[in-house]
């Protein structure tokens, strides 16, 4: 038995229980990307609600093409560092640990205050339509294929933002390599049509991911937790599969471990989803078979299955998203045996902002 409420040593972090708040974009920072008091209240609420680890929303990493949404927070200047520090201090005071998720939007770009031209591995437009609750854009733009200088700028942005995150007092860093953002795009055979050393075989498509992990590790030193979130599917193509299958995903996990990652955070719809071109393995089961790296698991984890998942994957953290949105005190409610509500997506309308969530809560409490 692996009790979900027991504390766990997770790399350099002592986490008070097995529950992590999954990273979720809230587009509620100041227009210039500075985190604010509203965000501090928001994240502190999850810490007070019992989540042992709080992971931030995707946070942009440079003043070029990394920002993906209007009112997305960044961590590229002193004002943004100071804004995050105030939030981290409040989360720590409430008894939880905190990671920042560093994100480059790549081709999945809905708004950017620095440029109107998205960048990606190749001139390939994302499938589907932009997410309406994150902005008003109705069609994806076609990205410019990144030059070697663009790629280096992206790597440098991740590294500098990692150093800034350490200065802000975060307990560690999660690199966003999932859900169709830049690093996931380089791994994808849909987005990545390059014919240079960054395209073609998986080893080449992995190159940028490895370079980013190494650069982040060098920026923060050895005794600081660094990990990466990985998926196959994207927000607009949830059924994408690596052509290399489970063996290919194992190669990715081993590569990021060898580059300096302490953990992998898997997300693919359901923690036990059988989602490879063949076989019956899940992202979680493949990652769990790799020695020398810890795991955060995400995907339809709730009050009905969290203990079973914890038993199935010992020594892992369990990241909760939708149930956390519905119940910021999910962990405390679970501990106390109280009712846990399902999410009402009306709370994210017309935009998935903290202000709209609070208005929904006030209306439904009346």
Please say whether the beta carbons of 41 and 49 come within 8 A. no
According to CATH, the superfamily of the domain at 8-364 is Aldolase class I (3.20.20.70)
pLDDT band at 163; cut points 50, 70, 90: very high
The yes-or-no answer on residue 46 being catalytic is no
Q: Where are the domains of the chain?
A: 8-364
State residue 1's pLDDT score: 40
State residue 236's pLDDT score: 85
State residue 269's pLDDT score: 80
pLDDT digits (tens, 9 = 90+) for 310-338: 999 999 999 999 999 999 999 999 999 99
Q: Which of 57, 97, 48, 93 is closest to 75 using CA atoms?
A: 57
pLDDT band at 142; cut points 50, 70, 90: very high
Q: Which of 60, 69, 134, 181 is catalytic?
A: 181
131 has a pLDDT exceeding 90: no
Give the separation between CA 13 and CA 9, rounded to whole angstroms: 6
Average pLDDT, stretch 41-67? 98
pLDDT band at 2; cut points 50, 70, 90: low
pTM metric for this prediction: 0.97
Give the separation between CA 29 and CA 58, rounded to whole angstroms: 12
What is the Cα 93 distance to its own chain's centre? 23
H/E run at residue 334: helix 330-336
Average pLDDT, stretch 8-12? 95
Q: Which stretch of 11-15, 178-182, 265-269 has the lowest confidence by average pLDDT?
A: 265-269
Angle at alpha carbon of residue 214, lines to 213 and 219, rounded to 5°: 100
Give the separation between CA 350 and CA 79, rounded to whole angstroms: 29
State residue 278's pLDDT score: 85
pLDDT digits (tens, 9 = 90+) for 69-81: 999 999 999 999 9
Average pLDDT, stretch 173-193? 97
Give me the chain's average pLDDT, please. Answer: 95
State residue 366's pLDDT score: 66
State residue 274's pLDDT score: 82
pLDDT digits (tens, 9 = 90+) for 194-229: 999 999 999 999 999 999 999 999 999 999 999 999
Torsion angle defined by CA atoms of residues 198, 203, 209 and 213, in that order, rounded to the nearest 10 degrees: -130
Give the separation between CA 54 and CA 81, rounded to whole angstroms: 17
Tell the residue number behind the tokens 């093409």, with chain if given: 65
State residue 275's pLDDT score: 76
State residue 351's pLDDT score: 92
């Amino acid at each position: 038995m692996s009790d979900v409420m027991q504390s766990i040593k997770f790399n350099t972090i002592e986490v008070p229980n097995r529950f992590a708040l999954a990273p979720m974009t809230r587009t509620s920072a100041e227009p210039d990307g500075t985190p604010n008091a509203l965000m501090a209240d928001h994240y502190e609420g999850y810490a007070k609600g019992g989540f042992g680890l709080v992971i931030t929303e995707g946070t942009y990493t440079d003043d070029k093409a990394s920002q993906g949404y209007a009112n997305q927070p960044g961590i590229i200047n002193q004002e943004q560092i100071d804004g995050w520090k105030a939030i981290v201090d409040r989360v720590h005071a409430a008894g939880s640990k905190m990671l920042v998720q560093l994100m480059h939007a790549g081709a999945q770009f809905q708004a950017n205050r620095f440029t109107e031209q998205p960048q990606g591995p190749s001139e390939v437009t994302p499938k589907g339509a932009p997410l309406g609750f994150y902005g008003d854009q109705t069609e994806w733009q076609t990205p410019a294929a990144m030059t070697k200088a663009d790629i280096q700028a992206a790597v440098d942005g991740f590294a500098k933002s990692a150093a800034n995150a350490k200065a802000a007092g975060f307990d560690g860093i999660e690199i966003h390599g999932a859900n169709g953002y830049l690093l996931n795009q380089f791994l994808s055979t849909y987005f990545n049509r390059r014919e240079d050393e960054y395209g073609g075989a998986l080893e080449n498509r992995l190159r940028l991911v490895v370079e980013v992990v190494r650069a982040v590790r060098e920026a923060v030193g050895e005794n600081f937790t660094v990990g990466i979130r990985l998926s196959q599917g994207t927000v607009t193509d949830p059924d994408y599969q690596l052509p290399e299958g489970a063996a290919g995903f194992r190669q990715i996990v081993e590569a990021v471990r060898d580059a300096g990652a302490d953990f992998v955070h898997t997300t693919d719809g359901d923690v036990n989803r059988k989602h490879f071109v063949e076989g019956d393995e899940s992202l979680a089961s493949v990652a769990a078979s790799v020695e020398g790296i810890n795991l955060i698991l995400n995907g339809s984890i709730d009050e009905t299955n969290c203990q079973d998942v914890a038993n199935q994957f010992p020594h892992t953290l369990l990241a909760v998203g939708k149930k956390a949105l519905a119940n910021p005190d999910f962990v405390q409610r679970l501990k106390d045996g109280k009712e846990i509500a399902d999410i009402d997506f009306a709370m994210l309308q017309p935009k998935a902002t903290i202000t709209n969530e609070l208005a929904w809560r006030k209306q439904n409490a009346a």
